[in-house]
Amino acid sequence: MTKYESLINDLAPRKFGKRGTIWTFILVVIIIIGLIAYIDQIRQGQVVTNMRDYALWGIYISNFVFFVATSFVGSATVAVLRLTNNSWRTPVVRIAEIISLASIVMAGFTIMIDMGRPDRLLNLFIYARLQSPITWDVIIIPTSIILSFLLLYFPLLPDLAILKKHHLKTKPTFSKWYGKLSLNWTGSKAQKAIQSKSIKIIAIMVIPVGILLQTIDAWLFSTTYRIGWDSTNMGAYFTSGAFVAGLGALITVVYVIRKVRGLEHYITDYHFDKLAQYLLVTCLAYVYFNINEYLIPIFNAPAEEEIHLNALVYGDYAGIFWFSQIVGLILPILILLFKKGRKPLPMLIVGIMVVLGSWWKRYIIVTPTLLHPFLPIEGVPESWHHYFPSIHEWLITVATLAMALLIITLFVRFLPVIPIQRTAEEKGLLKTDKKAES
Amino acid sequence: MSDNTKKERRKFLDKGLKLGIAAAIGGLGISKITSKLNAKTNHNSTDKMELMTVDGTLIEVDSSEVMEVQHAEDHDKKYNVREGMPNRKFVMVIDLAKCKNALKCVSACNKTHYITGENAWLKVHKMQESKDTAPYWMPRTCMHCDQPACVTVCPVDATFKRRDGLVLIDNERCIGCRFCMAACPYSIRVFNWEEPKQGEMSEITMHLGGETPSPDYAGMPSRKGTVDKCDFCPHSIKNNELPHCVTACPNGVFYFGDKYEDTVTNGEETLRLSKLLTDKAGYRLLEELGTAPSVYYLPPVDRLVDFEKGLEDYNEFQSVEKPE
């Protein structure tokens, strides 16, 4: 019983330390600055961005694609590992669910930031036309938000009940809230049956919905005639990229939380090794799709496409292109091949590399294509021939990333980041309870 | 026990639903009958009336049966902004052999549409397919495609295709997502990145004709955060006038007309569209994409002027002249 108590003590959410408070404060400041920049953008119009008639989408869209990609981590770990009976997932699934929910919510916000007339948002529902891929997005994003929320919430119920009991004397208000949120969870057989059935249904649903989300995101691009977007490879390419981006984000966040909360006993080298192998497999799959996307067209690319590819490989975008390919993909694979590379600290570095590479990879997908139209760019100011985000765009984009991190931070502050009930069961700490039940 | 109560509840719901439906049908029936009775009692005259049916036969009916009907809305004849002008299909032919890059089309378009941004709706491109082929000047309007990629991707039906061939934008509905701009392979669409500096002039002209603002009326002011583009000047067409670029061109490059009438005119000469396209090997831009443009090009052959002459007016970085 003491073991069980100490387990709860370890895993129950804790007050921010000094570092946590500073971290949260910085995030809030960044968000406020971004909010001011956004209000200015609404006031002046999107002229404050560096987007223009040719580079008509910029980092708002590539950042949106990045958020959508990282939101896939919920499907990738929770659902896929569940269906494949990988029991090592226990200590990381909650974090994956949190990242997933934070990302998809922020994806919804980011796409609105890009709208020229956010005041007409309701038109998307009033005049919705089903053949537009944007309408598909309008359908799939709220669906994903709801599913991600349920995927986080249902497995939380027993833990919330535990926390209610745990905080009963020390923090009565917290205890009251946990109790309300736990929906009167008592752990009875009937409740458990409903819960496990619901989780099963959601976990199965989340896979096709996740793949659809990634694919619709890809279709936003591949339904146009644009060089570099007009590719049948896009759906699968985006989905495999989402595995990589999501797992990279997961590994980074898991490392940080483990360090800050001192969870080394719960998230061990073994778990990092498993995550590393998973990331390695998905990186290899992503390399395969990258070869399809960038290498094979060398043989038969029409003149316009060759200009586009050359700009990526040798031209204006070569720096970002090779950064995303080498730092975001090739080096991680090389590091992960070695056992030493799959230890926690190298994994943190790999995780950060993958996340940065993934973010810039989306930039490389969105921007260069727009600056390689079929007809020449003429009759517009010289600056319209290029695109690099303006201060406003950076401030707003960084604020959206900070907001995602803030959501994750708040969840970590108030929820058990590792499922208490499941860990206790797996460690055999609940044997007495089980006997009593049966 | 719980099973029993469930059944009871289901029974109750079932009965309630049936009762409700029956009541609703009954109510409808009663109101119908009473209205019929009312009609009969109100008109007790026995006058007969002679009427002619649409096919010309005379018939006699009881005058009490005669009721005024509302005129049916004849969609074939009535003008509707989203439907367009009935039984027309507007097309344009651009003769590249005649274009000298005089840019009168561009300035006329900018002026009449109050374009104040940096990117004109109508531009003249300097084209050269490859190093060894001859360069030429290519005016480029909106192609008003019959399979418009922009219309397909618009999530709110703000940009629409009319029966008379025009592709227009309702900028009171546009949400500014710019997907149509990404979808257009001809890159003809422009965005109002800031509040358009059109001033009061556009508003004044807009109300001169006593028209209510609509997407096809030239005075429709641009709106911040929405998309604009070449509209084929429906305000001119309506008055039986040619689009401004056609009338402004000193070289007769632009022909405008109706495909159903098979005629196009540049203001000086009127030609058979089909014959013109066959004789001069007309083609459409990026035909292979399947967008089916309404704008045809005639190849730049047998040119009367040197390409170089046009270079004098050529400005790679400007298409809208700034007021001094």
Asked if residue A131 is part of any domain, the answer here is: yes
User: Which chain A residues are closer than 8 Å to B157 by Cβ?
Assistant: 127, 129
Convert A173-193 to b/e letters by CB count within 10 Å (16 or more is b). Answer: ebbebbbebbeebeeeeebee
Sequence-distant (≥ 6) Cβ neighbours of residue A40 within 8 angstroms: A48, A392
Going by the DSSP 8-state scheme, the letter that residue A2 receives in this structure is H
A307 in contact with B at a CB cutoff of 8 Å?
no
**B315 and A CB contact within 8 Å:** yes
Residue A2 confidence class, pLDDT cut points 50, 70, 90? confident
Task: Give domain status of residue A265, yes or no.
Answer: yes
Q: What's the total number of domains in chain A?
A: 1
Other CB atoms within 10 Å distance of the CB of residue A331:
16
Q: Is the pLDDT of residue A158 over 60?
A: yes
CATH number for the domain whose boundaries are B90-313: 3.30.70.20
Phi and psi of B161, rounded to 5°? -105, 130
Q: Which two tokens stand for residue A182?
A: 């736990």
Residue A153 lies in a domain: yes
| Residue-wise DSSP of A398-415 | HHHHHHHHHHHHHHHHHS
Asked if A220 and B173 come within 8 Å (Cβ–Cβ), the reply is no
Mean pLDDT score of chain B, rounded to an integer?
Answer: 84
Q: What residues in B contact A138, CB-CB < 8 Å?
A: 155
The verdict on residue A436 lying in a domain is no
Of the residues A225, A305, A369, A370, the best mutation for testing chain B's interface (the one with the most B CB atoms within 10 Å of its CB) is: A225
> Does residue A158 belong to any structural domain of this protein?
yes
Nearest residue, CB atoms, B155 vs list A46, A132, A223:
A132
Chain B residue nearest residue A125, CA to CA: B156
Give B-chain residues touching A377 at CB under 8 angstroms: 187
Read off the CATH number of the domain in which A83 is found: 1.20.1630.10
The domain limits of chain B are: 2-65, 90-313
Nearest Cα residue in chain A from B180: A224
B125 and A116 within 8 Å at the Cβ level: the answer is no
The verdict on residue A52 lying in a domain is yes
Rounded (5°) CA angle A314-A316-A320: 85
Q: How far is B180 from chain A (nearest CA, A)?
A: 9
Between CA A65 and CA A234 the distance in angstroms is: 13
Distance, CA of B222 to CA of B219 (rounded, Å): 9
Chain B's closest residue to A54, CA to CA, is B187
A46:B193 CB<8 A: yes
Contacts of B314 (CB under 8 A, 6+ apart): B101, B126
Q: Beta strands B90-95 and B295-298: pairing type?
A: parallel
Q: What Rg, from alpha-carbon coordinates, does chain B have?
A: 29
Chain A residue with minimum CA distance to B123? A379
| B residues 213-242 lying closer than 8 A (beta carbon) to A | 224-226
Query: Which position has the token pair 């459409």?
Result: B284
Calpha distance A109→A118 (Å, rounded) = 11
| B77 pLDDT higher than 60 | no
Structure tokens at A266: 């719960």
CA distance A360 to A59: 9
Contact between residue A67 and residue A242 where contact means Cβ atoms under 8 Å apart: no
Give the model confidence (pLDDT) of B254-278 as tens digits.
999 999 999 999 999 999 999 999 9
Going from the C-alpha of A276 to that of each of A79, A273, A347, A349, B259, the distances in angstroms are 18, 5, 7, 12, 64
CB A103 within 8 A of CB A95: no
- Per residue in A408-425, pLDDT (tens digit) is 999 999 999 999 999 998
pLDDT for the residue numbered B38: 58
Question: Within an 8 Å CB–CB cutoff, is residue B317 touching chain A?
Answer: yes
Residue type, A110: T
Nearest CA in chain B to A220: B179
Scanning A154-268, the segments in alpha helix (DSSP H) are 157-166, 172-181, 189-222, 234-261
**Which of A46, A216, A304, A383 is the best mutation test for B, with the most CBs of B within 10 A?**
A46
Q: For residue B322, which of B101, B120, B100 has the smallest C-alpha distance?
A: B120
Q: Which of B116, B187, B311 to mutate to test the interface with A (most CBs of A within 10 A)?
A: B187
Rounded Cα distance between A297 and B317, Å, is 32
- What does the pLDDT look like over A295-350, one tens digit per residue? 998 898 888 899 999 999 999 999 999 999 999 999 999 999 999 999 999 999 99
- Is B225 in contact with B84 (CB distance < 8 Å)? no
Q: How high is the pLDDT of residue B71?
A: 60
Angstrom distances, CA of residue A385 to CA of A51, A57, A437, B285: 10, 13, 71, 23
Distance of residue B131 Cα from the nearest chain A Cα, in angstroms: 13
Question: Any bridge partners for residue B90, and if so which?
Answer: B258
pLDDT (tens digit, 9 = 90+) per residue, B167-213? Answer: 999 988 999 999 999 999 999 999 999 998 876 665 555 555 555 55
Q: How many A-B residue pairs are in contact by the CB < 8 A criterion? A: 149
DSSP state of B147: S
pLDDT tens digits for range B98-123: 999 999 999 999 988 888 889 999 99
B135 touching A, CB under 8 A? no
Tell me if B120 and A56 make a contact (CB, 8 A cut-off): no
Q: Which residues of chain B have a CB within 8 Å of the CB of A132?
A: 152-155, 179
Q: Do A116 and B286 touch (CB under 8 A)?
A: no
**Residue A346 falls inside a structural domain:** yes
Determine contact: B152 vs chain A, CB below 8 A.
yes
Give the separation between CA B315 and CA A190, rounded to whole angstroms. 77
SS3 state at A340: helix
Name the residue among A52, A123, A133 with its Cβ closest to that of B193: A52
Q: In which element (H, E) is residue A369 found?
A: helix A344-370
The reported pLDDT for the residue numbered B18 is: 73
Residues of A in contact with B187 (CB under 8 A): 53-54, 373-375, 377
> d(Cα A89, Cα B217) in Å, to the nearest integer?
62
Q: Residue A370's pLDDT is what?
A: 96
* pLDDT at position B31: 67
With tokens 């690099």, the residue in question is A388
A135 within some domain: yes
What is the Cα–Cα distance from A182 to B211, expressed in whole angstroms? 62
- Interface residue B292 vs chain A (CB under 8 A): no
Closest CA–CA distance from residue A277 to any residue of chain B (Å): 39
pTM given for the model: 0.87
Nearest to B118 among A220, A374, A380 (CB): A380
DSSP label at A330?
I
Between positions 18 and 77 of B, the ones with CB within 8 A of A are none
Question: Contact A389/A59 with Cβ under 8 angstroms?
Answer: yes
Higher pLDDT, B203 or B244: B244
Is some CB atom of chain A closer than 8 A to the CB atom of B156? yes
So what's the ipTM on this one? 0.92
- Domain range holding A373? 2-429
